[in-house]
Structure 1
Amino acid sequence: MPPISPPPPSLLPELLAFVRARSPFYRDYWAQVPPASASLSDYPVLDSRRFWAANTVQGNQVLTAPLDSGITFKSGGTTGQPKYSVFTNAEWQAFTERSGARLRVLLRAGDRVGNLFYAGKLYASFLFSQRVIEAAGLGVGYPIAGDDLHEALAIWRQFDLNVLAGVPTTLMKLLELLTPEDRERLSLRLILFAGEPMFADQIARVQALFPDCVVRSISVAGVDYGELGWTEPDAEPGVHRSYDESTVLEIIDEGSGAPIDATGVPGRLVVTNLLRRLMPIVRYPVGDRGEWVDPPGTPERRFRLLGRTEEGARVGPMTLYVDDIRQALTTLQAQGVLQGFKDFQLLISHHGERDECCLRLALAEPASLGELGAAQIARALYAARPMFSDLLEQGVVHPLRVQAVTLDGLQTNARSGKLLRVLDQRHG
């Protein structure tokens, strides 16, 4: 891939002036910022709730012009009211072409790429991925979608696909369907995932079936904010490069709100898209945490994703962090307690005037867990989160409930296929 030139120095001041002049929401939101300021640090990070409250279908206050041509995507449909993100036709084409140019470093001539992202109501990932595969200019794309995995497997067999793109939950369920004959005959060179992380235990399961398979992120992007990061062939897990020519990526201290320049210091990711004009994205919090890998001034500076900014379950006054639970379960698996462990999900409910957390474990043989195994898992998680035991003694929360299911017993979003890591059943 040829080197990408950074944006001209005038692009950010031009964007800020344009947005202030054309967007009623931003003009009001920036009321305390001097009009001539071209320093992003002078501008407040977007309050997502205010941004989307103003970014409505009728009477929109964010857009800089009427929406008379382009494309509209539903976003944020997992909970609450769906949001809608819009691009002009030129913006959408440029977005996918930039991402496709980076994907080119992972694909090879002759690759047969099956697109298993969901094509239902939350359709942006499917359309984006297909356009990006086309824009990469290598291989043949097969727009299969991930709602019927038996059909997907039939197409894999028929066309001898060697690259699969999709949500990790979908990909892992597809691998469950492989017969011994499939494992012997089919090949898999590359997995391209997005939508949720793909963890070491999942990658190990892939490579147990296909030892030479490489697992990489297809892109870090959002239908709200556009492109954020791209992956190199030899990248460490979670490490991506930024897009110098089209974005300004910041990592912000979660306490002070100050930008972080040092490497290895976690903060929340905030992005400004320099090229979108219809629905401007200026200091937009993307919902992920990260840290810089390269020193300041490095071209296409690398960053490492560190999970969601609020990836946890609130149980009474306590937060159960998903990463802590995953670590505890990984330790139990290494100790031989969790045989055939595949994934997990948290269900939060409320009864008897107290909150309850149910840890739903996907196992190859759910009946193998038993009461003793469930009790051992509960004790391990209490040890990992001592506040849980304290709240139990105080009668503030119910004991942890452990439920063993098959992988299909974990609930996914019907539109996107993403695993719903936390299901809060307390609100209807």
Structure 2
Amino acid sequence: MTLLIEQLVQYARQNSPFYAALYRDIPRSGWQLRDLPLIDPALYWQQSQTLSSWPALTGPIIDGHVFKTGGSTGNGKLSVYSREEWRDFVRVFGQGMGSQLNPGDRVANLFFAGDLYTSFLFIHGALAHSPVPVCEYPFTGAVETTLLAQAIETHQINVLAGVPAQLLRFASQLLERGQVLNSVTLVLYGGESLFEEQLSMLSLALPNARYASVGCASVDAGLIGASTPDCLLGEHHVFDGDALVEIIDETTGEPIEAVGQTGVLVVTNLQRRLMPLIRYPTGDLAVWCEPTDTKQRKFALRGRASQGYRVRLGTLSLFPEEIGGIVKAHLGPASWQLLLARAEGMDRLTLRVAPDGGLSNAVKGALYTALLEKYPTMNTLSQSDLLRVDIACHTAHNLTFHPRSGKLLRVVDQRSYVVQTEQPA
């Protein structure tokens, strides 16, 4: 493992201007992983829209795939895989995902496609590498509820794979019609966490289903963790040999090894050379579930980091640095933070601002309009009663700060994550 990391770092610093600058003060040998600086995501993605001159890349894009990590087509960050890297990505993930499946399972792929979005294509590829034979029904997340329910019964589909927001929409519409699907035995969710109240609603419409993560990965970071039947909800195994996972203390920056201590999830991808990711903060909080010497050690996700560069709400990705730019344009150097919560069956996003002199209705309206213009999906989710967006005026001292460091928390996540006390069946 050590040799592989050394080779990756050497290749990155020789071929990528970004890493050459990042590792300028790192000796050629004798260093340890913890000696390497963490990637600053804002700097890393700064020029990703111009792929021909993006400093993070180690060479030209000759073959492969270009995907988007968030935002609209015009401003989303672009993530690049060579053809071989993409094949390795879906193969390894599919082998982990396949551990949740049984031979002959019929899987409805309800993830989303189009506009450089990754998830549908990714799960389609992963299912093709399942170690057990399964049959995929590639509906996408845009399938109409009535047609999907009919197809599940007609084709005896027993596995649903999708993002919680789409699965909840489907379950809600089933319940409105008084319909229950007893034939579904497994629900694989991905892209966001599953919350306790969401699990209760899904169970009403799909009473015989077991619920499990499809696995933990992202288009930017690549492989993160595998979900297997011995994992509780929110838990994942590390991909030994393909990705290196660290949990880092938010305040000190030191690696955490103790079980149960929360820190920022940091990933080093050992597969990728065209767009290397070395000590990349995912923006998630996590804890170790097992001691250091455990093979394929398990970790559990615990929400978003306070300084996380991306916030996930359903199918919506928000970038705090972009929101900071909007706030500055309308309020100047005002303090602000994002509050994430769930209530009455929907996600709630509150932008807390603390401007000098208060907040007029006109400026509040302009700030709200600017948010919707930056993130059109926000408006779509709001109109579908899946998201409530508010702007709240505070005094600076009434915002939430880190209890130890005293730093302003950029993201405050108050959503209640599912915690199981028993092993899944």
Normalising TM by the smaller chain, what interval? 0.7 to 0.9
Matched residue type, 2:85: E
Find out whether 1:62 has 2:21 as its counterpart: no
Q: Runs of 5+ in structure 1 lacking a partner?
A: 1-6, 330-340, 357-407
**Structure number, greater radius of gyration:** 1
Name the stretch that deviates more: 199-208 or 143-152.
Answer: 143-152
Correspondence for 1:76? 70
Asked whether the equivalents of residues 191 and 215 of structure 1 are also in contact (C-alpha less than 8 Å), the reply is yes
1:307-346 maps to which residues of 2 (within 5 A)?
Answer: 307-310=303-306, 319=337, 321-322=339-340, 325-326=341-342, 329=343, 341-346=344-349
Task: Tell me the distance in 2 between the aligned counterparts of 1:283 and 1:120.
Answer: 30
Correspondence for 1:191? 187
Matched residue type, 1:188: V
Correspondence for 1:387? none
| RMSD of Structure 2 on Structure 1 (CA) | 3.3
Q: TM-score, normalised by structure 1?
A: 0.74
Alpha-carbon offset, residue 185 of structure 1 = 5.7
When residues 420 and 114 of structure 1 are mapped into structure 2, their CA distance, relative to the original with a 3 A threshold, is same
Q: Runs of 5+ in structure 2 lacking a partner?
A: 313-319, 328-333, 362-376, 394-425
Task: Tell me the distance in 1 between the aligned counterparts of 2:127 and 2:61.
Answer: 27
1:94-133 maps to which residues of 2 (within 5 A)?
Answer: 94-133=88-127
Asked whether the equivalents of residues 339 and 351 of structure 2 are also in contact (C-alpha less than 8 Å), the reply is no
Task: Tell me the distance in 1 between the aligned counterparts of 2:63 and 2:84.
Answer: 10
Task: Tell me the distance in 2 between the aligned counterparts of 1:254 and 1:19.
Answer: 26
Task: Tell me the distance in 1 between the aligned counterparts of 2:70 and 2:391.
Answer: 16
Correspondence for 1:3? none
Alpha-carbon offset, residue 287 of structure 1 = 1.1
Task: Tell me the distance in 2 between the aligned counterparts of 1:241 and 1:282.
Answer: 19
When residues 297 and 410 of structure 1 are mapped into structure 2, their CA distance, relative to the original with a 3 A threshold, is farther
When residues 81 and 164 of structure 1 are mapped into structure 2, their CA distance, relative to the original with a 3 A threshold, is same
Correspondence for 1:48? 41
Name the stretch that deviates more: 146-155 or 298-307.
Answer: 146-155
Deviation track 1:327-365 (CA, whole Å, cap 9, x = no partner) reads xx5xxxxxxxxxxx3223235498994289xxxxxxxxx
Alpha-carbon offset, residue 298 of structure 1 = 1.3
SS of residue in 1 equivalent to 2:282: strand
Asked whether the equivalents of residues 116 and 164 of structure 1 are also in contact (C-alpha less than 8 Å), the reply is yes
Name the stretch that deviates more: 201-210 or 247-256.
Answer: 201-210
Correspondence for 2:23? 30
Correspondence for 1:14? 7
Please, which of 276, 288, 293 is the counterpart of residue 280 of structure 1?
276
Matched residue type, 1:260: I
Task: Tell me the distance in 2 between the aligned counterparts of 1:418 and 1:303.
Answer: 33
Alpha-carbon offset, residue 236 of structure 1 = 1.6
SS of residue in 2 equivalent to 1:183: coil
Name the stretch that deviates more: 224-233 or 32-41.
Answer: 32-41
Deviation track 1:252-273 (CA, whole Å, cap 9, x = no partner) reads 1101111111111111011101
Alpha-carbon offset, residue 38 of structure 1 = 4.2
Matched residue type, 2:207: P
Correspondence for 1:225? 221
SS of residue in 2 equivalent to 1:36: coil
Deviation track 1:122-177 (CA, whole Å, cap 9, x = no partner) reads 52011111111121143110110112333433432332211111110100111122
Correspondence for 2:302? 306
Matched residue type, 1:45: L
Asked whether the equivalents of residues 16 and 38 of structure 1 are also in contact (C-alpha less than 8 Å), the reply is no
Name the stretch that deviates more: 137-146 or 30-39.
Answer: 30-39
Matched residue type, 1:229: G
Q: TM-score, normalised by structure 2?
A: 0.74
Find out whether 1:354 has 2:359 as its counterpart: yes
Matched residue type, 1:32: D
Alpha-carbon offset, residue 420 of structure 1 = 5.7
Correspondence for 1:293? 289
Q: How many aligned residue pairs are there?
A: 351
Correspondence for 2:143? 148
When residues 228 and 184 of structure 1 are mapped into structure 2, their CA distance, relative to the original with a 3 A threshold, is closer
SS of residue in 1 equivalent to 2:62: coil
Task: Tell me the distance in 2 between the aligned counterparts of 1:118 and 1:301.
Answer: 30
Asked whether the equivalents of residues 293 and 302 of structure 1 are also in contact (C-alpha less than 8 Å), the reply is yes
Name the stretch that deviates more: 116-125 or 90-99.
Answer: 116-125
When residues 108 and 229 of structure 1 are mapped into structure 2, their CA distance, relative to the original with a 3 A threshold, is same
Asked whether the equivalents of residues 109 and 139 of structure 1 are also in contact (C-alpha less than 8 Å), the reply is yes
Task: Tell me the distance in 2 between the aligned counterparts of 1:420 and 1:224.
Answer: 25
Alpha-carbon offset, residue 204 of structure 1 = 1.5
Task: Tell me the distance in 1 between the aligned counterparts of 2:150 and 2:220.
Answer: 34
SS of residue in 2 equivalent to 1:263: coil
Task: Tell me the distance in 1 between the aligned counterparts of 2:93 and 2:116.
Answer: 20
Task: Tell me the distance in 1 between the aligned counterparts of 2:141 and 2:238.
Answer: 29
Alpha-carbon offset, residue 419 of structure 1 = 6.0
SS of residue in 2 equivalent to 1:126: helix
1:235-254 maps to which residues of 2 (within 5 A)?
Answer: 235-254=231-250
Task: Tell me the distance in 2 between the aligned counterparts of 1:132 and 1:51.
Answer: 27
Deviation track 1:81-103 (CA, whole Å, cap 9, x = no partner) reads 21111111111011111011111
Task: Tell me the distance in 1 between the aligned counterparts of 2:385 and 2:71.
Answer: 12
